[in-house]
Amino acid sequence: MGSSLFFLALFALSAVANADTSSGLTMNFYKESCPQAEDIIREQVKLLYKRHKNTAFSWIRNIFHDCAVQSCDASLLLDSTRKTLSEKETDRSFGMRNFRYLEEIKDAVERECPGVVSCADILVLSARDGIVAAGGPTIALKTGRRDGRKSRAEVVEKFLPDHNESISSVLEKFGAMGIDIAGVVALLGAHSVGRTHCVKLVHRLYPEVDPALNPDHVPHMLKKCYDPIPDPKAVQYVRNDRGTPMKLDNNYYRNILDNKGLLMVDHELAHDPRTRPYVKKMAKSQDYFFEHFARAITLLSENNPLTGENGEIRRHCNLANKNHYDE
């Protein structure tokens, strides 16, 4: 009897460890239905990274823009229709790109397992593997998401923080997803890679230079953003981190402590008394940064997913299935 109870207890512990009762997601969701899915996605991310290194930064940005807006359901990827605006076309999504390459990943998975793997999971797993490609931590993420059928463009600004919002607003919006202050500071460390378009920062340069900016950094910013009213269609930008621009690392925190942050949120992060202690810790320890970054990405990836019978598995990531049948 004692032995039976022991094994029953082990089984119960195992079930708790492998199930996520709050989100409906599990580790290795496709183990039976498409065992090669995660390997295919990982390999595609690597191949695309070799061809276009900026794809990794796109995958990282995707998880923020999709999962922060009500649900991690790949609504970000839907094209505009006659009745609805795509999230990709909102102001918050300015500068986002490489969506066509996500379709390449979807096509590769579909060739192996048609109609099985959701675009929502592909978006999340490509972000996971993009983080690794950019030099960040390996993060074990659960799967089992299903795809939404509609754009959430009308609520993007309500849920997704803007680059120049107050730090209080940023903390509140991420806090609503269960991400604590250390997690928010870590998530903004994603600004260590990629670039900031001049249209998002010229207000700090014109008509007068923001005195909070490091004067040694200003000439470079002015050289890159030479027009007070930049053409939004022109590719004018400043690299977020001149030291290691293609690497996800803790150099970002040293930069913002030195007043070299490009955006107001970067500056506030370094100087607000709620966030500054974590900025200083992450500037000193990349391990500390990666630990909190991994935890925050996990929480973000599990934000209100569609699971079970909810949603659908899209045939193409840019179009809800019902629109195929309407054609």
Q: Is 272 annotated as a binding residue?
A: no
Contact 79, 319 (CB under 8 A): yes
According to the annotation, is 109 in a ligand binding site? Answer: no
Tokens of 137: 């931590």
Euclidean distance between CA atoms 271 and 4, whole angstroms:
58
Euclidean distance between CA atoms 167 and 175, whole angstroms: 12
Bridge partners of residue 316, in order along the sequence: 319
State yes or no: 210 annotated in a binding site. Answer: no
161 a known binding residue?
yes
Q: Is 66 annotated in some ligand binding site?
A: yes
Name the catalytic one among 65, 163, 197, 267.
Answer: 65
Q: How far apart are CA 109 and CA 55, in angstroms?
A: 18
In one letter, which amino acid is 10? L
H or E segment and range at residue 238: strand 237-239
Residue 249, annotated as binding a ligand: yes
Phi, psi for 260 (deg, rounded to 5)? -110, 10
CB 270 within 8 A of CB 279: yes
Is 165 annotated as ligand-binding? no
Contact criterion met (CB below 8 Å) for 130 and 60? yes
Is residue 65 among the annotated active site residues?
Answer: yes
Cα-to-chain-centroid distance, residue 180: 17
Q: What are the binding residues?
A: 66, 69, 73, 75, 87, 161, 191, 241, 244, 249
Annotated binding site for substrate: 161
Query: Known binding site for heme b: residues?
Result: 191
Catalytic residues: 65
**Binding site listing for Ca(2+):** 66, 69, 73, 75, 87, 241, 244, 249
